[in-house]
Structure 1
Amino acid sequence: MGRLHSPESRSRGGLLGREPGFRRLFLATLGSGAGTWLALVALEFDIYQRTHSSAWIAALLIADLLPTFAIGVFAGPLIDRLSRRGLMIGSDLVRFGAFAALTFTTDATQIVVLAAVVGVATGFFRPAVYAAVPNLVEDEDLPGANSLLQTVDNATWALGSVLGGALAATAGVDAA
């Protein structure tokens, strides 16, 4: 739980300036989300270049997004009992490994399988982030903290997607 703050200190620096643990979580979410969305867009380009098939792009998106939703629904209670920090770090390491393994893929099926691995890891990462918030901020700061995290989620979706598309279009899929 965060420290108690006077009204004067609550207004100075805002939540990110006031709570170092929450600031670290926010920045980790920003970096992780932007990288994940950038990579997903690059993978869409890669799949299309390899197959020229929108069905493969759909398979990629389903493989990436379906596990995220399914894990959130069915494994939520389990996630609440595990180390949030450990889940976030472990999830990012799994995603990093899957993205690194993409350099060795030779066909679309391998890319879709690795996207599913990323989706599973993301399915554990996102609930762990939101479950950690009450441990990092005061109860009265929960709405603001959740709003900031939701904002950064949306911003990384937009920014990561734009950067991934721009990088893939200008420097090629391998650069993205």
Structure 2
Amino acid sequence: TINLDEARIHGVEAQVEHAFTDAITGYASATWIRGENRDSRFDEPLTQMPPPEASIGLSHSGAQGWQWDARIRAVASQSRTADTFTAGNERDTSGFATADLAVGYRFGPSAGFRSNELTFSVTNIANKTYREHVNEMTEARLDPANGVQDIWAPGRSFGLTWNAEF
């Protein structure tokens, strides 16, 4: 562990929503962050700075009835690594995009609850193989011959959620 004399992080985060109807809303979000290592011992970016990313989606919701949400997330590749600071352990990552979908039904008051919602979701619908940039698996730790593989983000995942207000 090394303490840095000076570092600076700056970035932009934005989110917009637009209601197309009383029930359908479109949304988009984006994040861009840069970390600068200003310590004279290191002429490189800060370690583990996430790459730029953006999401866009459409959702349908109401006080009662069918609900759904569809989203696409895109993440840029990241080649800004802190090679000296991490002794070459921070790795470049490829860009990727994933799509998620959730469908559910919102019930009215029942069984003592003000509302109930049951939702089925599928994340990473296309089962895309990707690795998030902020990942502790270094090149030196990889050893496929002995079963030590990369840490990939979850593949296609299914979820069932019950949300109740009381």
The interval holding the TM-score normalised by the smaller chain is: under 0.3
Structure with more strand by fraction? 2
| Higher-Rg member (1/2) | 2
TM-score normalised according to structure 2 size: 0.23
Answer 1 or 2: higher relative contact order, Cα 8 Å, separation at least 6: 1
TM-score normalised according to structure 1 size: 0.22
